[in-house]
């Protein structure tokens, strides 16, 4: 469908030709441009300065070969990427994803969304993202280490604590960050905060591991609060069982909810007594096993093969925390007919455009990824501050700052939605609020790039 503004639609059409083979990137851009219709109507200065035409084009893309030796001594080759999308408000910042589905389109969509997400945190971070089509699943620790060392050998030429600061994402957790950090330090002979999500013994921040999941629930709590509701006594379904999902479970449970279903890419579990996050931690973080082994711990639970059926489990609150486009229009229909009250995106772009429209039309509270999952990168920003000061804050201090940041993000998205004539539309509100700060910085800095 054309965007309801000729100028914005022209920018989109132009990009759709140039990036015809980048569907995820186009999907992410379309949503933002659609939100900016009332902004361009009020801000001819931004149009004149070409801010929107510039913001959809990455400042720099780095693509590189990553060759490494597997345990059998055979040569393996993967593709590495870093998209340095926008540095108007700070050094590029954003995670690295290691998953076989990674393409340039996926990294560009993630980098583009990161610009606005990072802006919403209120911290000085630009937008970037990177990764590889390497699959850590089934690899030995030694293979993961050799891959990370080879990946960082090239990446180290392009990043730095004041230039570009990567972190984790799908397939990149504490183990991978450790190997990446070790190799950067070896190559540059510098102990700096060049990565976030580091281990606590070498410059990591307390609460960074928990931050995305906790932040997701803090944001969902604000949404529910706007209707006089809370997590108390609610049935919660969380897709995924990785970093974001595990700590969303912990916080949702602490806030009085009951998490009855979780998944991985093979299937989902249902436990009407509530899923204990420490069991998932043991399965996924310690054993690196499949979620169906939950039945070995809780034999009364149920396992269903195939991950998408999770959205047919009746719940009050749905938190998609796995990956992009994991919840489509039909699945949104199941949630709506089962009476879902709130949906908050812990993953990046997990709901298809059809699903988002369905939730909004049904009056379901809907929190978009850029706002909902910004607690992870916000706490990365706090890790950077601690590294610069060469000191560390307590868990409570970091958690309290995270909670306040999530409240601020909710308030600014809600206020922008109101101001631009779409009250309650947090998708438009988050896009507009995130965009305006970056646009202002780009206006001040001139048009040389
Ligand atoms: P993890 O690698 O820790 O966990 C990913 C989870 O999602 C796993 O359970 C995985 O299942 C599942 N999953 C991954 N890909 C697919 C797929 N194609 N289909 C079905 N399930 C899939 O990643 P994170 O928890 O860190 O990331 C989850 C989401 O949250 C991503 O969208 C990420 O971009 C986003 N995010 C992460 C942040 C962070 O700080 N880590 C911050 C903000 C957003 P399996 O084990 O079977 O592969
Ligand atoms: O999508 C995201 O915001 C992340 N994966 C976290 C990025 C970061 O730099 O902490």
Going by CA atoms, what residue is nearest to atom 37 of ligand 1? 169
- For ligand 2, the distance from its centroid to the CA atom of residue 95, given in whole angstroms, is 4
What's the pLDDT at 34?
Answer: 98
- Ligand closest to the CA atom of residue 93: 2
Ligand 1 atom closest to 322 (CA): 7
Please state the atom number of ligand 1 nearest to the C-alpha of residue 246: 25
- Confidence band of 240 (pLDDT split at 50, 70, 90): very high
> Is 378 in contact with 405 (CB distance < 8 Å)?
yes
Interval 417-421 mean pLDDT: 98
- Is pLDDT of 417 > 70? yes
Average pLDDT, the chain: 98
d(CA 381, ligand 2 centre) in Å? 10
Cα–Cα separations (whole angstroms), residue 370 to 55, 59, 402: 16, 20, 15
Q: What is the pLDDT of residue 106?
A: 99
**Which residue's alpha carbon is at the smallest distance from atom 34 of ligand 1?**
348
Other C-beta atoms lying within 10 Å of the C-beta of residue 330: 13
Average pLDDT over residues 231-260: 98
Residue 286 above 80 pLDDT? yes
Place 14 in a pLDDT band, splitting at 50, 70 and 90: very high
Q: Whose CA is nearest to atom 3 of ligand 2?
A: 377
Ligand 1 atom closest to Cα of residue 324: 32
Which of the ligands is closest to the CA of residue 351?
1
121 lines ligand 2 (CB under 6 A): no
The CB of 169 under 6 Å from ligand 1? The reply is yes
Determine the Cα–Cα distance for residues 133 and 60; give it in Å rounded to an integer.
20
Instruction: Give the mean pLDDT of 327-331.
Output: 98
Ligand 1 contact via 114 beta carbon (within 6 Å): no
Share of the chain above pLDDT 70, in %: 100
Residues 286-315 have a mean pLDDT of: 98
Confidence of residue 182 (pLDDT cuts 50, 70, 90): very high
Residue 325 CA to ligand 1 centre (angstroms)? 12
Residue whose Cα lies nearest atom 23 of ligand 1: it is 170
Distance from Cα 165 to the centre of ligand 2, integer Å: 10
pTM: 0.98
Which residues, listed in sequence order, are joined to residue 391 by a DSSP beta bridge? Answer: none
Cβ of 241 less than 6 Å from ligand 1 = yes
Q: Is the C-beta atom of 244 inside 6 A of ligand 1?
A: yes
> What is the DSSP-derived secondary structure letter of residue 286?
I
Chain segment 104-155, per-residue pLDDT in tens: 999 999 999 999 999 999 999 999 999 999 999 999 999 999 999 999 999 9
The residue-averaged pLDDT of 373-393 equals: 98
Q: Are 383 and 204 in contact (CB under 8 A)?
A: yes
How much is the pLDDT for 449?
55
* Ligand 2 pocket mutation pick from 115, 170, 376 by most atoms within 8 angstroms of CB: 376
User: Is residue 114 within 8 Å of 149, Cβ to Cβ?
Assistant: no
Q: Which ligand is nearest to the CA of 196?
A: 2
Distance 242 CA to ligand 1 centre (A): 6
164 lines ligand 2 (CB under 6 A): no
Q: Among all ligands shown, which has an atom nearest to the Cα of 205?
A: 2
d(CA 327, CA 347): 11
- CA of residue 198 to ligand 1 center, whole Å: 18
Which of 117, 129, 198, 284 is catalytic? The answer is 129
Nearest to 355 by CA among 392, 388, 308, 395: 308
Answer whether 377 contacts ligand 2 (Cβ < 6 A).
yes
CA distances from 168 to 32, 130, 134, 323, 387 (A): 24, 10, 14, 14, 17
Residue 185 falls in the annotated catalytic set: no
pLDDT of residue 448: 72
The protein residue with its alpha carbon nearest to ligand 1, atom 41, reads 169
Residue 317, both tokens: 């609150």
Residues whose CB is less than 8 angstroms from the CB of residue 198 and which lie 6 or more positions away in sequence, other chains included: 177, 178, 181, 204, 205, 383
């Amino acid at each position: 469908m054309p965007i309801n503004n000729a100028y914005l639609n022209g920018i989109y059409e132009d990009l759709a030709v140039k990036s015809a083979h980048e569907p995820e990137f186009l999907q992410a851009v379309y949503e933002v441009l659609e939100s900016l219709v009332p902004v361009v109507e009020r801000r001819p200065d931004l149009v004149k300065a070409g801010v929107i035409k510039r913001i959809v084009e990455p400042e720099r893309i780095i693509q590189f070969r990553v060759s490494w030796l597997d345990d059998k001594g055979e040569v393996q080759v993967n593709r590495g990427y870093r998209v340095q999308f926008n540095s108007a408000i700070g050094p590029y910042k954003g995670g690295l994803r290691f998953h076989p589905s990674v393409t340039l389109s996926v990294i560009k969509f993630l980098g583009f969304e990161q610009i606005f997400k990072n802006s919403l945190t209120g911290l000085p971070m630009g937008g970037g993202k990177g990764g590889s089509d390497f699959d850590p699943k089934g690899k030995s620790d030694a293979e993961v280490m050799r891959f990370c060392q080879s990946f960082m050998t090239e990446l180290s030429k392009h990043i730095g604590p004041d230039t570009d600061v990567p972190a984790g994402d799908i397939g990149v957790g504490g183990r991978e960050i450790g190997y990446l950090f070790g190799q950067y330090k070896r190559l540059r002979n510098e102990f700096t905060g060049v990565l976030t999500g580091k281990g606590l013994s070498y410059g990591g921040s307390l609460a960074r591991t928990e931050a995305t999941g906790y932040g997701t629930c803090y944001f969902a709590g604000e949404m529910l609060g706007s209707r006089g509701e809370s997590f108390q006594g609610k049935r919660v379904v969380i897709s995924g069982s990785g970093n974001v999902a595990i700590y969303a479970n912990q916080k949702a449970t602490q806030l009085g909810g009951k998490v009855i279903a979780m998944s991985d890419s093979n299937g989902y579990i249902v436990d009407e007594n509530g899923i204990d996050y420490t069991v998932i931690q043991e399965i996924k973080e310690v054993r690196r096993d499949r979620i169906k082994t939950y039945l070995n711990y809780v034999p009364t639970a149920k396992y269903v093969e195939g991950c998408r059926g999770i959205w047919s489990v009746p719940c009050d609150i749905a938190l998609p925390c796995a990956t992009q486009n994991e919840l489509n229009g039909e699945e949104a229909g199941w949630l709506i007919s089962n009476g879902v009250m709130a949906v908050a995106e812990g993953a990046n772009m997990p709901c298809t455009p059809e699903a988002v429209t369905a939730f909004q039309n049904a009056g379901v509270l809907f929190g978009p990824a850029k706002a909902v999952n910004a607690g992870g990168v916000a706490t990365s920003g706090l890790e950077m501050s601690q590294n610069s000061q060469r000191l560390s804050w307590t868990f409570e201090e970091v958690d309290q700052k995270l909670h306040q940041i999530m409240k601020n993000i909710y308030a600014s998205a809600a206020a922008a939605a109101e101001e631009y004539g779409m009250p309650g539309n947090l998708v438009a509100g988050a896009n507009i609020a995130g965009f305006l700060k970056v646009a202002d910085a780009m206006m001040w800095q001139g048009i040389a790039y």
